[in-house]
Amino acid sequence: MSNTRGRTVQSIKKAMPWLHTAYRKIKYKKTKVILEEIVDILINKLQITYGDTLIVHTSLSRFQLTNALPEDVYYVLQKCVGAKGNILMPTFIPVKHLLSTEPYYAGNVPGHNGLINELFRMEPSVLCSTHPWKPIAVWGADAQELISEHHLSERAFDKHSPYYKAMALGAKIIGIGTSFQYLSFAHVIEDVHPELFPPIYTEPIDKICYSVNGEKIAARFGHILPIAQKHHSFENIRKHIDDSFAREFKYREIYFSIADSKKLYMRMLELAQQGITIYGDYKKQQGL
């Protein structure tokens, strides 16, 4: 598969030197697997099907593909969901890009969510949302609609975000090489229902952005307070989440995870109303 399509090692090196460095380091990773093993897990254990909308987290820190390139992982996902499906991958960037006085150009800043996600972001058929802190890369039937209002998200995961919109489509949240430890979707609750949480965001600041279509946008964005950033973890609520709609498992020391976004959202909302959140005892520590 990887010999006939996708980026070669040479094209990765030409596109972005640090990606080539990351690719070369893959050979030192822990568990060697072939692509067919990943495909079997996607279809038979994660039950990915035609028409699915997927929010995908990936990490190559625990495995090495011996017969394929990293991008073959999302090529397989694209084949699984087909022309009516959608794939969303976080491509978050350092907050300095939000705080900078320079305009933000959607899709032009490298993300820090792993090599697979970064290669996905660079694909010509993939669109990137206009958010100078928590952009997300999207491919599929509803890609334009999913990213269309992210510039309106003063809080990155609110009702305008691709995350919330994907949930409305019944998105599955999957992890390939990752557990739920730092599940990005968990932030949707705090951004849609800030009244249930202690103060965790800065005041919004003005920012000039340019969308992937070249449209100039004047918007306002906040970002999470550093002290709150240190406290959040899905592990703070994991014991309250039923495995029937959010489960994680290991295959040969490689983590995989799958969650029903709607059911997970409703359960996190119930927990937040009881004062149980991914921030643990942050409120108590802050004397709030």
Indicate the domain borders of the chain: 9-281
In this prediction, residues 110-114 reach a mean pLDDT of 90
In this prediction, residues 171-183 reach a mean pLDDT of 93
The confidence score (pLDDT) of residue 27 equals 55
Residue 5 pLDDT > 70, yes or no?
no
CA 225 from chain centre, in angstroms, equals 20
CA pseudo-torsion sign 183, 189, 192, 193: negative
First to last CA, the chain: 55
Residue 143 pLDDT > 80, yes or no?
yes
Number of C-alpha atoms within 13 angstroms, CB side, residue 182?
10
In this prediction, residues 236-245 reach a mean pLDDT of 95
The confidence score (pLDDT) of residue 2 equals 38
- The pLDDT tens digits of the residues spanning 115-133 come to 999 999 999 999 999 999 9
Strand pairing class (216-221; 246-251): unpaired
Mean pLDDT of the chain: 89
**Dihedrals phi, psi of 194, to nearest 5 degrees:** -60, -20
The confidence score (pLDDT) of residue 282 equals 55
The confidence score (pLDDT) of residue 9 equals 45
The confidence score (pLDDT) of residue 214 equals 95
- pTM for this predicted structure: 0.89
- The pLDDT tens digits of the residues spanning 271-286 come to 999 999 999 865 555 5
CA pseudo-torsion sign 275, 276, 278, 282: positive
The confidence score (pLDDT) of residue 227 equals 76
* Cα R_g (the chain), whole angstroms: 19
Residues 138/161, Cβ–Cβ less than 8 Å: no
| Torsion on CA atoms 23, 24, 27, 31, rounded to nearest 10 | -20
Residue 220 pLDDT > 60, yes or no?
yes
**Spatial separation of the C-alpha atoms in residues 179 and 183, rounded to whole Å:** 8
Residues 198/288, Cβ–Cβ less than 8 Å: yes
Buried b (16+ CB within 10 A) or exposed e, 102-126: eebbbbebebebbbbbbbbbbbeeb
- The pLDDT tens digits of the residues spanning 70-93 come to 999 999 999 999 999 999 999 999
What confidence tier does 95 reach under pLDDT thresholds 50, 70, 90?
Answer: very high
Mark residue 25 as left, alpha or beta (left: phi above 0; alpha: psi -120 to 50; beta: remaining): alpha
Rounded (5°) CA angle 184-182-50? 55
Residue 12 pLDDT > 80, yes or no?
no
